[in-house]
Amino acid sequence: MKLRGIGVGSMMYGLGYGFARPDFSTTDIELAPDGTVTIWNGASELGQGLQTLLCQLVAEELGIPYEDTFIITADTGRTPDAGPVSASRSTYVQGNSALKACRDLKKPMAELAGELLKTDPDQLIFKKGLVQDQNEPSRSISFTNLAGGMHQRGRRVRGSGYHSITTGDVDKETSQGDAYATYAWASQLAEVEVDTETGQVTVLRLASATDAGKAINPKMVEGQIEGGAVQGLGFALMEDMKIEQGEFKNAKLSTYLIPTAADVPMVEPLIVEVYDPTGPYGAKGVAEPATIPTAPTIFNAIANALGQRVRFTPATPEKMLKLLGKLEEKEEQITIEDMPYPEP
């Protein structure tokens, strides 16, 4: 018999490291005489899109085309230290440091523009390739011309931005305190079909409502959501790391099964934007939030279909048949007696 069910699952995630661990980034940027910009940041491009994101932020902040930005990342011989790429922090921490580098560069640029345009540097805005007096739009100079002028006059053409979200530690005995700089949020919904004869669980659809604060690059956010869903699905249903007497017995991709295209359901990325005033343009990270709720969402859909709950991973067909009482459970199970709550 094939039974269908729908379930939901949610999560929150403290962004960055917390616990007084160093959590900072430095970005350097340099203006060339033709108005193009080079960015140096010590964080790694893993395939998540960090380079693109930092270039978009810099382009926006300087009011120049994205194509006019070039970035060099993660090289101790060239880039400043930007901290690790982990804890879904890159958009939030490295992004903010890039904005600060732009603001640092804009100071000498606004000074020269103010001299040339005979106006107050504080009233100048950088937008659409122009540096313009916001009260008197006729007073403007192109970003490119200003860049050339900066070099001709020997002005400072480098900017540097440092940003830190290093927190204090929580109390040792109670863990009370401000643990993280900000939090990320996500909820997912899954529809599944369970074959009660074979134990096979098929995910038919997975909708993922993930709060990006502000999606700097919506396609990349969708990529994180889709990849996160697939990795979460693998954790929920397939990836069975068999460790016997300390040995990882199936340490090959022929026996340790991860999802392939054939296992991936329709994933619907639903980008939610709850503006975070502490993030760059309101943005925060989505990498981990996109994968955290997937397994319990699928398990809640299974419970909705069967009336029986999965409280283990992975829910392989074999383990589902044990849950349904169609196969004998031979493994010794951990019980409540094995896990007393520690004293207050």
Per-residue string for binding with another protein, 256-295, x by CB under 8 A?
Answer: x-x---------x-x-xxxxxxxx-xx-x--xx--xxx-x
* CA distance between the termini of the chain: 48
Residue 154 is a binding residue for another protein (CB under 8 A): no
Q: Does 317 bind another protein (CB under 8 A)?
A: no
Binding to another protein in span 89-118, by CB under 8 A? none
Amino acid symbol at 182: T
Rounded to 5 degrees, what are φ and ψ at 303? -60, -40
Cβ pair 130, 63 in contact under 8 A: yes
CA–CA gap between residue 342 and residue 344 (Å, rounded): 7
Is 42:50 a contact under the CB 8 Å cutoff?
A: no
Among 124, 297, 321, 323, binds another protein (CB under 8 A): 297
Q: Which of 124, 305, 320, 321 binds another protein (CB under 8 A)?
A: 305
Structural contact between residues 193 and 4, judged by C-beta atoms closer than 8 angstroms:
yes
Closer by beta carbon to another protein, 96 or else 187: 187
Among 38, 86, 142, 164, the residue binding another protein under the rule CB under 8 A is 86
Pairwise CA distance, residues 172 & 169, whole Å: 8
Interface pick for another protein out of 162, 193, 231, 322 (rule CB under 8 A): 231
Show the binding pattern over residues 161-200: x = contacts another protein (CB under 8 A), - = does not.
---------x--xxxxxxxx-xxxxxxxx-x---------
Can you say how many angstroms the Cα of residue 198 is from the centroid of all Cα atoms in its chain? 37
Per CB under 8 A, 318 contacts another protein: no
Which candidate, 149, 14, 40, places its Cα nearest to that of 92? 14
Q: How far is the CB of 115 from another protein (least distance, A)?
A: 26
Question: What string marks each residue from 207 to 226 as x (binds another protein by CB under 8 A) or -?
Answer: x-xxx-xxxxxxxx------
Nearest distance in Å: CB 180, another protein: 7
- Amino acid in position 206: L
Q: What number of chain residues touch another protein (CB under 8 A)?
A: 136
Residue 143 CB neighbours (<10 A): 24
Catalytic residue among 197, 288, 328, 329: 288
Helix-helix angle 294-306:218-233, to 10 degrees? 60
Smallest separation, CB 77 to another protein (Å): 4
203 beta partners? 192
Q: Is 288 noted as a catalytic residue in this protein?
A: yes
Q: How far is the CB of 265 from another protein (least distance, A)?
A: 14
Strand pairing category for 182-195 and 158-164: unpaired
3-state secondary structure of 26: strand
Residue 300 binding another protein, by CB under 8 A: yes
Site for another protein in 27-66 (CB under 8 A): 42, 44-47, 49, 51-52, 55-57, 59-60, 63, 65-66
Nearer to another protein, 4 or 151 (CB): 4
Which residues are part of the catalytic machinery? 288
